[in-house]
Structure 1
Amino acid sequence: MTNSTIAESTPFNFKPYEESKGEEYMNEAQKAHFRAVLTNWKNDLMREVDRTVDHMRDDAANYPDPNDRASQESEFSLELRTRDRERKLLKKINDALAMIDTDDYGYCESCGIEIGVRRLEARPTADQCIDCKTLDEIREKQMG
């Protein structure tokens, strides 16, 4: 994956939200900001899917040399694994967009407190506050 591909598949190419003093959490401006971030990220991922399909269709060849065939299959396999991870991410993005519509976005699914604008800027699909996420990771580490 090239650096340009990485940059295109992450939501970090946006202007951070400027909070005003005393601003209400998850007001219409914040929701509009995060909707735009998530929608742009989703569109970038969908463009990458289209590029992969085009690349695999255009570059697929039946090389007579087994090493060339193996290299191509390995490349395609890596691309497909990346797209599969992005498919799961697309589901999280769609879930986050749906949460914006129901006014549940930005609140921890576990304890209900505010996740925070800065955490959402770093991870727009976050559905837990940092404390609950940390506890989940500790439990996961202890169990596995």
Structure 2
Amino acid sequence: MRKKELEKFKKLLQEERKRILQNALRMADRKVTIDSDDVPDIVDLAASDLNLNLNVEIRERERHLLGKIDSALQKIDEGSFGVCEECGERIGTARLEARPVTGLCIKCKEEQEELEKRSGARRGDQEDVRFPIKPIVSDN
């Protein structure tokens, strides 16, 4: 991959990393506990609890994505960005533009999804094993 393309992806990944970290700081500043004295009735309490659970899920997904971003940035530094972790072939530019944190070419990703479908695995379980990360969102 050309240096100019690598720099473009590096900048994109760094900007996304910064956005996620800023969002995490904003969320950390918010009150994350539910005080039943502050909630007028059981419906409001349930809604508050649901909102809290949603925030936790969002934070977990962002943590997962940060790991994938860090992994992609490390690959850029090592010179292995854009190479499929499974088959070693080059990952297409269009795929990288759509999903710069991906570690799989489209063919290997499709094979992985088919295997997951047949085995009943949840989406992303197989690929998560490949990322030695602290990550968030499944690939595609």
TM-score, normalising length: structure 1? 0.75
Tell whether the 8 Å contact from 2:34 to 2:49 is kept in structure 1 after alignment. no
In angstroms, what is the RMSD of aligned CA positions? 1.7
For structure 2, the residue ranges without an aligned partner over 5 or more in a row are 121-140
| Code of the aligned partner of 2:16 | W
Q: Identical aligned pairs, as a percentage?
A: 35
Tell whether the 8 Å contact from 1:56 to 1:76 is kept in structure 2 after alignment. no
- The offset of 1:66, in angstroms, is 4.0
| Residue 114, structure 1, aligned to residue 93, structure 2 | no
- The offset of 1:50, in angstroms, is 1.0
SS of structure 1 residue aligned to 2:81: coil
Distance 1:132 1:63, change over 3 A: same
CA distance in 2, matches of 1:40, 1:60: 33
Aligned to 1:50: 25
Aligned to 2:136: none
Match of 1:97 among 68, 73, 91: 73
Tell whether the 8 Å contact from 1:106 to 1:127 is kept in structure 2 after alignment. yes
CA distance in 2, matches of 1:123, 1:27: 18
Q: Say how many residue pairs are matched.
A: 118
Which is bigger in relative contact order (C-alpha 8 A, separation at least 6)? Answer: 2
- Equivalence map 1:66-81=2 (5 Å): 66-67=41-42, 68-81=44-57
For structure 1, the residue ranges without an aligned partner over 5 or more in a row are 1-25
